[in-house]
Amino acid sequence: MRTVAVTGATSGIGRAVALDLAAHGFHVIATARDPEKAEKLSARAAEADLTLSTVMLDVTDPASCQDAVTRIDELTEGGAWALVNNAGIARAGAVEDVSEHDARAVLETNLIGAARMTRLVLPGMRRRGQGRIVQMSSLGGLVSVPFNAWYCAGKHALETLTDSLRMETAGSGIHVTLIEPGFIDTPMLSDALEHFPASAHHPGVHDAVRGLVAWMKPPGPETVARVVRRALTATSPRRRYRVGPAATLAPLARCAPAALTDRVSQALLRAHRL
């Protein structure tokens, strides 16, 4: 049985991934920052007659990461076969309205934390001559969207870091894959919309963004979980898997002139503001 460690596994996409993989024969080690949430995940798995292990982890804390990887090594007698770097946060708002503290928290969790965990599991994978790294990116890693700049910045950086890592591990038996979901109906999305800061410079934008997301009818996290499983079970996984219509269309936006994408963004926000 192959072991997969999933970070940020107590809600949203992470929880869906952990439960889906456990249901399909993987030994899942689900990491969590909150012991109470870890217990709830274990109870949810037990209700579904699934087995998974939980390990405490805060990806922003180097000591916690090292302790978690040591514990994972103990549970697996040598380390996880795969790591799904899913832990992430968002701080929505205009660049001028998001504090430096919140900006640092986003980058530390979404970028540095993922890189830290990747670096810690790679030696074991190299010794075994096989392994999988799955990085949870986003539509925001493909194209920039307004009022979520720091999240996009972190995901853009994760994309480039992962591309470099994939080239560095070529021929080692380690496969590196990016998952790029569009808007997904998760607690993180709901929380970001609920705590969207008021802005004197952008009046009414909060309702416009909420209306735009509702209009898109984002799918649930189970959609992403199935794609992660596909990446882990494929003999030769793809470099990128895009999930949802928004992410599928994102490459078109990347190829379009910046003046055009700016106008489309402004038009969509204006329409939903009205």
DSSP lists the bridge partners of residue 83 as 5, 133
**What percent of the chain has a predicted confidence (pLDDT) above 70?**
79
**Strand order across the beta sheet in which 131-136 lies:** 52-56, 27-32, 3-6, 82-85, 131-136, 174-181, 240-243
Tell me if residue 151 is catalytic.
Answer: yes
* List 151, 183, 196, 241, catalytic entry: 151
d(CA 199, CA 218): 25
Burial (0-12, 13-18, 19+ Cβ within 10 Å), 200: exposed
- State pLDDT tens for residues 84-120: 999 999 988 889 889 999 999 999 999 999 999 999 9
d(CA 189, CA 183): 8
- State pLDDT tens for residues 44-90: 999 999 999 999 999 999 999 999 999 999 999 889 999 999 999 99
**Strand 3-6, strand 27-32: pairing:** parallel
- State pLDDT tens for residues 194-226: 666 665 555 555 555 556 556 566 778 999 999
**What percent of the chain has a predicted confidence (pLDDT) above 90?**
68
- State pLDDT tens for residues 163-177: 999 999 999 999 999
Average pLDDT over residues 31-38: 97
What angle is formed at CA 223 by the lines to CA 221 and CA 225, rounded to 5 degrees? 75
Indicate the fold that domain 3-273 takes in CATH: Rossmann fold (3.40.50)
d(CA 231, CA 240): 9
